[in-house]
Chains A and B, each alone.
Chain A
Amino acid sequence: MSGGRNGGLGNAAGGGRSNAVGSGPGNGRNNAAGRLLRRGLRSGLPPGRPWRAGAPSGWTGRVRFLLGRPGLALSLLLLALVLLAAVAPGLFTGRDPLTGVPADKLLAPSVHHPFGTDQLGRDLFARTVHGSSASLRAAGLAVGIALFAGSAVGLLAGALRGWVDVVLTRCTDVLLSIPALLLSLAVVTALGFGTVKVALAVGLTSVAGFARLMRAEVLRVRAADYVEAAHSLGVRRHAVVLRHVLPNAWGPVLVFAAVEFGTVLLAVSALSFLGYGAEPPQPEWGALVADGRDYLATAWWLTTLPGLTIAATVLAANRIARALEREEEASVR
């Protein structure tokens, strides 16, 4: 899992490192950002919302589009279900995720308990469903932090250039040179336990990738004719940056956020597996896998089913991100 989330970053930095762990099921290479970058370097005119440009228009068109891509349809469905579980877990299960029936401990999966029960007789399906909220919130928050902070750093570096650019770029280089999981561990150890702190730790270590990509996009857009035109018309520098550069630079960055979601979810789960997440008995996906690891020989479902849930969610997120990225590319061509 370590390094996996660096795949995109490595490419963004022109390094060409890639890793299949955190990437989609199909092509196995998570180099969305790299491709976006190459595309970016070709320069081009700014479309309004480029990542939507290639999408088929109309309701029937969309359905036909999805029918031709069952993997994508399945991924969308799965992610929709997981998001729904995070928002309204009561729709999926009526069982209490925190209080179990000790007499019913370690029951294998059945109709009554689709995921079986854990060592204290709690319904594992209920715990997985209720755990999705904490895990997705942490992943979402982490991506949000990375997106916001990374974009701000990239925008500053790209727009101001000069020594600001040098300092910020060297800082992101330093961040990129430290293995991400190791850095998250160090940060979370300093911060303490809890879902929000885990999100903060993972988010901070993902800032560098976003900063790099945003800077590259800003540099590309800066050179465009309409920006020069704005300058020559006497528009102030910060207004040019906010009104003309930023809106035209953030498309690929947003797609990169989607690409990052899967790997960030893995990193969050890893920290939660190591015990830095929510306080027990609150369920969290990574913690559920960790709880079951002492029972690998006697109760396989405790690790396998929450583990498969994480894997399926990450794969679905990556599949969707890949589709977005393709459309982004198509829109440029």
Chain B
Amino acid sequence: MARSPRTSTRPAALAAALVVSGLLATAGCSAGGSTAAAEGTPGPGGELTFALASDPVCVDPQQRANNDAIYPARQLVDSLTDEDPETGEIVPWLATSWDINEDATEFTFHLREDATFSDGTPVDAQAVRDNFDAIVRLGAQAPLGSGYLAGYVGTTVADAHTARVAFEQPNAQFLQATSTFSLGLLARSTTSLPAAERCTDHLVGSGAFVLEEYRPNQVVVETRREDYAWGSSLWRHRGPAYLEKLTFRVIPESGVRTGALQSGQVDAIGGVAPQDEQGLADAGFRVQSRSNPGLPFGLSANLARPALRDERVRRAVQAAVDRQEVVDTVLSPSFVPATSALAHTTHTYADLSGALAHDPEEAKRLLTEAGWEPGPDGVRVKDGERLSLTVLWTENFGPNENVLQLLQQQLKEAGVELRLRTAPLADFLAEREAGDYDFTWGNTTRTDPDIMRTQYSAALTNYGHLPADSTLEELLQGQNAATDAGERAGLSARAQRELLERAVAVPVFELTTVLGLADRVHDLDFEASSRIQLHDTWVS
């Protein structure tokens, strides 16, 4: 199976020792990386230490959506299906085959018979039912999974290894959803627990690794499951994983992470800062990246706010953003500007870069048309009110603040003041629910276009207060009900255009997952959503 992450390896130029003077302690910088790329053959043994950019908060794959939780959590669970990162095809994993009825309301999965959870209980139809029931019960605690299961009627255990999942309405995205970590299967001893008790402990899955311990803000340790034999059909080898032990260390400062990789304290790091990419590559480290599908990083409007209820103001913001400048200034060549409401690696993506062109004159014209006239301090005014918009953001991605400060600068040119309000990662969801902002800043990763419905449907969380009787809502529901691939692609493309033209979404750039790897690490693969899969990884 073809799986070739984009890598850029350089012959190790000896890094000149960087003299970092200053008052503050410097991150350890040394010439790193062995010169000859160690070749060898994959084989069992060894350990891997991976530096996470933030604390996972919780390592339950069904509850979390942040990458730094998913990296360790993905290794603990198997999914019913898997998705080919190259073709997007859904292939067998725990389910050897499946049937879908005509109108996509009923999904029947035929499970393999040898899989067991690490506590010895079998992975059977009853387990599938326990899990889906539990995810629906988790509700808001499982924001992704419960969205995928919207309209869930129930799971029928047809026989020990055949499970039938039924929905009230057509649910075209569900098959792809079963390949995600959010619907990964956990043992009954876990699913019967309340949400808070299955975050740091009691997580029993059927995955290739078993959770040893999770100390918040410090480390997640996992060990190999020796009798593992039910890997995804996509993986490079059968049987247990090669690595004996995984250690995920939490290192929030990007400079310290880079230094830890350079000094050999860790084997791989996540969240490589854009400004460190070149230096790592020059020092002989592999910088491995893959574009994340789903919703690009951008602003999502809150239509409950008076200024943004006017579509012209939103469209002015859309036109005032210079996406290329953001990528050139704050990010690295690994990143690309947004060209649609979906990232270009998402299924049914439609290139709408024409609707996202930087046009400051158009922005000014729209604002004047909407009655906002230039004020004394450069910020536009209407009826004595300044055009000041607040954006709520959190530090789930290192360059966020710099990107937002640049947007601030770009919008100022059009006469719009953008105020930044930050919330810690742990408080972000609560703040978002409180609704005291004009825009939220963020992204969501998923290969299926249904992620638009998750974020923008009036029928779900609807933090943007979108109207329930709009063309957009019709299109979002329509694409999930469409069983014909061509019809679904058409509806999805129209939904993308609608989001941009109504300027409900102001996408800015597509997230790229950038990892830094030491030479001794091989075959560290990205799965379809650009999260890591460590079953085939080996060290030399």
Which residues of A line the B interface, CB within 8 A? Answer: 98-100, 102-103, 105-106, 119-121, 275, 279-281, 289, 293-300, 303-304, 307-308, 311
Contact = CB atoms under 8 A, between A and B. Distances in A.
B439 to A, nearest CB: 15
A296 B406 contact: no
Contact of A120 (B255, B258, B405): B405
Nearest to A311: B23
Contacts of B253: 293-294
B330 interface: yes
Contacts of A297: 18, 20, 27, 29, 255, 258-259, 276, 279
Contacts of B401: 280
A120 B316 CA distance: 23
A294 B398 contact: yes
Interface string B231-262: 00000000000000000000001110011000
13 contacts: A106-B275, A119-B402, A280-B401, A280-B404, A280-B405, A281-B408, A281-B409, A295-B275, A296-B22, A296-B26, A297-B276, A304-B22, A307-B24
A303 B21 CA distance: 9
Given A296-B27, A298-B279, A102 B329 contact: yes
B388 to A, nearest CB: 12
Contacts of B275: 106, 119, 294-295, 298-299
Contacts of A300: 20-22
Q: Which 9 A-B pairs have the closest CB atoms?
A: A102-B329, A307-B23, A304-B22, A298-B275, A281-B405, A303-B22, A294-B254, A296-B255, A296-B20
Interface of B: 18, 20-24, 26-27, 29, 253-255, 258-259, 273, 275-276, 279, 325, 328-330, 398, 401-402, 404-406, 408-409, 412, 419-422
A245 B114 CA distance: 89
Interface of B is mostly: helix
Contacts of B259: 297
B419 A120 contact: no
B430 to A, nearest CB: 16
B152 to A, nearest CB: 41
Interface of A is mostly: loop
A247 B275 CA distance: 58
B409 A100 contact: yes
Contacts of B276: 297-298
Contacts of B421: 279
A79 B405 CA distance: 31
B255 A293 contact: yes
A295 B276 CA distance: 8
Nearest to B273: A294
B329 A289 contact: no
B22 A121 contact: no
A102 B255 contact: no
Nearest to B328: A102
Contacts of A279: 419-421
B434 to A, nearest CB: 14
A296 B329 CA distance: 18
B23 A308 contact: yes
Nearest to A306: B23
A245 to B, nearest CB: 43
Nearest to A273: B24
Contacts of B23: 303-304, 307-308, 311
A297 B24 CA distance: 12
A20 B216 CA distance: 35
Contacts of A120: 329-330, 402, 405-406, 409
Nearest to B413: A99
A121 to B, nearest CB: 7
Contacts of A293: 24, 253, 255
Given A103-B329, A295-B255, A297-B29, 13 more contacts: A99-B409, A102-B328, A106-B275, A119-B275, A119-B330, A120-B409, A279-B421, A281-B408, A296-B22, A297-B18, A297-B20, A297-B258, A299-B275
Contacts of B254: 294
Contacts of B273: 294
Contacts, number: 80
Contacts of A296: 20, 22, 24, 26-27, 255
B329 A119 contact: yes
A289 B259 CA distance: 19
Contacts of B402: 119-120
Contacts of B422: 275
A105 B329 contact: yes
B360 to A, nearest CB: 14
A277 to B, nearest CB: 12
A121 B18 CA distance: 23
A100 B20 CA distance: 25
Q: Report which residue of A293, A296, A299, A308 has the largest number of chain B beta carbons within 10 angstroms of its beta carbon.
A: A296
B326 to A, nearest CB: 9
A120 B401 CA distance: 11
B325 to A, nearest CB: 5
A304 B330 contact: no
Contacts of A299: 275
Contacts of B330: 119-120
Given A296-B255, A297-B27, A300-B21, A102 B419 contact: no
Contacts of B420: 279-280
Nearest to B15: A297
B98 to A, nearest CB: 46
Contact of B406 (A102, A103, A106, A295): A102
A106 B254 CA distance: 18
Q: Report which residue of A293, A294, A311 has the largest number of chain B beta carbons within 10 angstroms of its beta carbon.
A: A294
Q: Report which residue of B22, B404, B420 has the largest number of chain A beta carbons within 10 angstroms of its beta carbon.
A: B22
Contacts of B408: 280-281
A119 B273 CA distance: 13
A275 B255 CA distance: 18
A6 to B, nearest CB: 21
A85 B419 CA distance: 26
A294 B275 CA distance: 8
Nearest to A99: B409
Contact of A102 (B21, B325, B398, B404): B325
A152 B442 CA distance: 49
A303 B26 CA distance: 11
Contacts of B20: 296-297, 300
Contact of A303 (B24, B412, B419): B24
Nearest to B258: A297
B410 to A, nearest CB: 9
Given A281-B405, A298-B276, A307 B22 contact: yes
Contacts of A119: 275, 329-330, 402
A155 B329 CA distance: 57
Nearest to A299: B275
Nearest to A298: B275
B168 to A, nearest CB: 45
Contacts of B325: 102
Nearest to B420: A280
A186 to B, nearest CB: 15
Contacts of B258: 297
A234 B404 CA distance: 68
Contacts of B329: 102-103, 105, 119-121
Nearest to A275: B422
A56 to B, nearest CB: 35
A121 B27 CA distance: 24
Q: Report which residue of A121, A275, A281, A289 has the largest number of chain B beta carbons within 10 angstroms of its beta carbon.
A: A281
A102 B254 CA distance: 22
Contacts of A304: 21-23
Contacts of B24: 289, 293, 296, 303, 307
Nearest to A302: B22
B47 to A, nearest CB: 27
A98 B409 CA distance: 8
